[in-house]
Amino acid sequence: MGKKIIILGTAHPFRGGLAAYNERLANEFLKEGDEVEIYTFTLQYPNFLFPGSSQYSDQEAPIGLKIRELVNSINPFNWWKVGRMIRKEAPDILIIKFWLPFMAPCFGTIARIANGNKKTKVISILDNVIPHEKRIGDMQLIRYFVNSVDAFVAMSDSVMADLKKFDGQKPCVFKPHPIYDNFGTPVSKEAAIQKLGLSANERYLLFFGFIRDYKGLDILIEAMADERIRKMGIKAIIAGEFYTNAQPYLDLIKEYGLESSLIMKTDFISDDEVKYYFCASDIIVQPYKHATQSGVTQIGYHFEKPMLVTDVGGLAEIIPNGKAGYVVDVSAKSIADALVDFYENQREQDMVAFVNHEKAKYAWSEMTKTIKTI
């Protein structure tokens, strides 16, 4: 007999990686015969806290999923109401994907109330425990949330280590981020390049995702200024919306004279367009200054692309160095060195073959199994 499951968090009509994750997880539970609903937000972030152009998707709601817009992240009376609803529904499992201390009062209060039925097990999937961009009061907020949860699934070893600063007793299992296979099937590199209106005579690397300072776009820009990279004529596609002040990056591009080497696609990339950016590229570059894990890596696995990541957080845990890609120091020179090796020694074919083999371990069924048995 299947489980009754409620997922509390971001989903349609909101957009982005969190929504994609929760919706894909719900679909996997449905495929396994479970009963699942997603309780998403009526208000996720107040506008003054949201750095992008819009929080909302312009795409149709996913077919076959029960998504209820119920949660106001800044209204304590709403938290009590939603908590009582879940307590009454009495699911076997309440899943909360945690990523930001701002959400701790909302999620922590709902979890405490829901758990009052003595039946519902609260499980949190941890993107991060301690955020990339820290603020005063974060530690107290995180502790409030952690204390409301029965068990944890950490998506990197570094996240597990951070959790132990708050709780070392509750069950916690390491399970890597599953593959994002909900962005369509791969297309040929030639077809993708044509779709994006790019030149078929160039070679492309990809920086993908919302642009925040910790993601190290400035380091990639410096790497692109390396004389060896300039001589190769490699182009970098920067695909993602700025979630920080864009001007320092634009100034750096101008300073290095890289206007013709970087292709800036900095509007929001819709789900339907994602495959073209990945499939047009030879290698995915994640020059992060710090991180725990990244969903970009799992999109890369789905589209069978080699990846270059910096040795921070859990990124190195899922990219075998020299096989699925490169794990390098956080520096422009290290990134440039790896790119030179990749292109001069024609590593793409061998790395693609390894990625194709390696991606089998990141199935969604492994995540659902972990959640049900923890």
- Domain of residue 194, CATH code: 3.40.50.2000
Of 174, 207, 235, the residue that ends a domain is: 174
Exposed (0-12), middle (13-18) or buried (19+): which is 249, by Cβ within 10 Å? buried
Residues 170 and 193 in one domain: no
Q: Does a structural domain hold residue 369?
A: no
- For residue 54, the model assigns a pLDDT of 65
Instruction: Report how far Cα 205 is from the mean position of its chain's Cα atoms.
Output: 19
Of 115, 150, 174, the residue that ends a domain is: 174
Of 107, 142, 174, the residue that ends a domain is: 174
- For residue 249, the model assigns a pLDDT of 97
A 10 A CB-CB count for 251 gives: 10
In angstroms, rounded to a whole number, what is the distance separating the alpha carbons of residues 27 and 30? 5
- For residue 335, the model assigns a pLDDT of 98
Q: Does a structural domain hold residue 39?
A: yes
**Residue 248 is part of which domain span?**
189-361
Beta strand 93-98 pairing with 4-8? parallel
- Amino acid, single-letter form, for residue 52: G
**Token reading at 294:** 């990244």
Residues 234 and 132 in one domain: no
- For residue 270, the model assigns a pLDDT of 85
Residues 242 and 94 in one domain: no
Q: Does a structural domain hold residue 371?
A: no
Q: Does a structural domain hold residue 29?
A: yes
- For residue 271, the model assigns a pLDDT of 86
Residues 165 and 204 in one domain: no
Q: Does a structural domain hold residue 179?
A: no
Residues 201 and 135 in one domain: no
Residues 46 and 157 in one domain: yes
Residues 206 and 354 in one domain: yes
Residues 106 and 203 in one domain: no
Q: Identify the CA nearest to 222 among candidates 252, 261, 251.
A: 252
Residues 312 and 261 in one domain: yes
Q: Does a structural domain hold residue 134?
A: yes
A 10 A CB-CB count for 117 gives: 14
**Token reading at 359:** 């991606």
**Token reading at 90:** 């009495």
- For residue 75, the model assigns a pLDDT of 97
Q: Does a structural domain hold residue 181?
A: no
Residue 151 β-bridge partners: 123
Q: Does a structural domain hold residue 180?
A: no
Residues 146 and 295 in one domain: no
Residues 98 and 241 in one domain: no
Domain count, the chain: 2
Residues 160 and 268 in one domain: no
In angstroms, rounded to a whole number, what is the distance separating the alpha carbons of residues 170 and 248? 43
- For residue 68, the model assigns a pLDDT of 98
Residue 37 β-bridge partners: 6
Q: Give every residue of the chain whose pLDDT is below 70, as ranges.
A: 48-54, 132, 292-293
